[in-house]
Amino acid sequence: MTFTGFDEDALAFYRELTVHNDKAFWLENRERYETRVAGPLHALADALEPEFGAGKLFRPYRDVRFSADKSPYKLHAAMTFERGGYVQVSAEGLAAGAGAHQLDKQQLDRYRRAVDAPNTGGELTAAVEAVRAAGIGIEGTDQLKTAPRGFTADHPRAELLRYKGLITWEQWGVPDWFATPEAAERIAGFLHDSEPVTEWLRVNVLDGGDGTS
């Protein structure tokens, strides 16, 4: 399947779903979702697979078992890539991210030890600066109010230590290239520009790096 761009009707679909988040609307518009929303994302996955691995589209259904909000459908479509990267389409338009949104206990321990160590901690500082210099935002997720236990508040990388996840993020909205093949190039460029951070995470945290250098 050739990627020709995202479908602008996807934006209208999610605007309408925001108002009519119920089974009746979904059943009436299921084919529209498959062709106008999911179809372009599957085509994007095919286009980017040689560089970033297979893409996986998340299910459109919310898990409402433990939520006070019982609306059954997600208000965005999202896809991840096997080698890292996230793409999202919603009523607000197009967004992409990369990195580690939520680290498990062992990963968080490796992350903190790597941030604390002079060499690997300095490498992460340089990686964050490089990504920001490329015009890409960096977000620390689930931040603590102060440095975690065992680390001093005046640690040179105290801000990074406070994070329980670290991602790059770009919110494009609805650019003039949204519905064109250029969208694939823009997303690929974002993922490449994110590599200083994502590669650091892969080596020191996600692939079991010891984070002690």
What lies within 8 Å, CB to CB, of 75 at 6+ separation is 14, 17, 18, 21, 90, 91
pLDDT confidence tier of residue 123, bands split at 50, 70 and 90: very high
Concatenating the DSSP letter of every residue in 112-136 gives HHHHHSHHHHHHHHHHHHHHHHTT-
Tokens coding 197:
């951070």
Q: If we measure between CA atoms, which residue out of 116, 121, 76, 80 comes closest to residue 101?
A: 80
pTM above 0.85, yes or no: yes
- Only one residue has tokens 């997600």, namely 74
Residue-averaged pLDDT of the chain: 95
pLDDT score at 210: 59
Instruction: Give per-residue pLDDT as tens, 15-72.
Output: 999 999 999 999 999 999 999 999 999 999 999 999 999 999 999 999 988 888 899 9
Please determine, for residue 209, whether its predicted confidence score (pLDDT) is greater than 70: no
Nearest by Cα to 99 from 37, 32, 169: 169
The contacts of residue 103 (CB under 8 Å, 6+ apart) are 111, 164, 165, 205
For residues 47 and 210, the model is more confident at 47
d(CA 195, CA 197): 5
What amino acid is encoded at 3 in this protein? F
Q: Which residues contact 82 (CB under 8 A, 6 or more apart)?
A: 52, 53, 54, 55, 56
H or E element that contains 189: helix 182-193
Quick one: CATH architecture of 92-213?
A: 2-Layer Sandwich (3.30)
pLDDT above 60: residue 129:
yes
Residues of the chain with CATH 3.30.1460: 92-213
DSSP 177: T
